[in-house]
Amino acid sequence: MASVAGPWRLPAEWEAHEATWIAWPHEKSDWPGKFAPIHWVYSDIVRHLAQVEVVRIVVQSEAEKKAAGRIFEKSGVDLDWVEFFIAPTDRSWLRDTSPIFVRNEAGEVAATDWKFNAWAKYPNFAQDDRLPAFVAKQLKMPRISTKVVLEGGGIDSNGAGRLLTTEEWLLSDVQVRNPGFTREDYQRVFAEHLGITEVIWLDHGIVGDDTHGHVDDLARFVAEDTVVTLDVGDAVARLKKAGLRVVKLPQPQPVTFDGQLLPASYANFYIANGLVLVPTFTDPADRIALSTLAKLFPDREVVGIPCRDLVLGLGTLHCMTMQQPA
């Protein structure tokens, strides 16, 4: 499709969605020794999302589509709100492999295509790197190729020009995404492709996160001038210095499996149309996190999704989803 005119803006997650994108999980090594329940966890998430918006699901084959459909039927998913797309993927973490959708002043939506290198950690990523082009083609949507490595879980926007990210993710010498890139280089790229006018740099992410610093496990916008955050490092001080209203989220007790500390975080919630899905961990702090977010989203239903199994894959609800703006 021929390109349409910018400038482009990265909408806030709470703005209206046309759909949510996910990919059906198939990489068993992401959940070593615990893959069996994962399809049922995904199915329950789709059940909730399909009550409020279209859910677009990338599957690897016709057989995988039929298998997912059978699970959805057993789980009570409204299949009228589910659309399948067949394409090969390496993993199912669409927050990082999907296009990041932007909108212009005329309301037109485009797909920004960022390079993906599996968090500069894993060798298999070629199929995931091709996913944005596939999605844009399926949607007959303009595709903007950036030639820069970036993952959606590393940024969070208020829809009005401000963006959260971390220095650990983009500026450290571990798991380097774009060798030689500086703080100014990233700010220029964010401005050019996402319409960002101010980047709020936090120090580091949470322990157990193998992305090395994604912000969506740490701090998230919930309104144009309000963020929720874990009280980690100097995150609260930096956010307040940026002039934001700061609401603290609790942290669950450490979640481990087979001796591995997992990145269990209530900040990895997902905002859909009229709905907020929140990861829970059978922890006393679940109640506090749900209550905190319910007060911040009074016009949305806030639903907890049990994620002790899902988080073994080193991500939960926000990591597995990507919103497509209306």
Q: Which residues are catalytic?
A: 319
Write the DSSP string, 149-186: E--GGG-EE-SSSEEEEEHHHHHSSSS-SSTT--HHHH
Write the DSSP string, 189-220: HHHHHH--SEEEEES---TT-TTS--GGGTEE
Which residue do the tokens 């990265």 mark? Answer: 10
Q: Give the SS3 label for residue 275.
A: strand
Q: What angle do CA 57, 13, 160 make, to 5 degrees?
A: 145
Which residues, other chains included, contact 188 with Cβ-Cβ below 8 Å and sequence gap of 6+? Answer: none
Q: Give the SS3 label for residue 226.
A: strand
Q: Which secondary-structure segment (H or E) carries 23?
A: strand 17-23
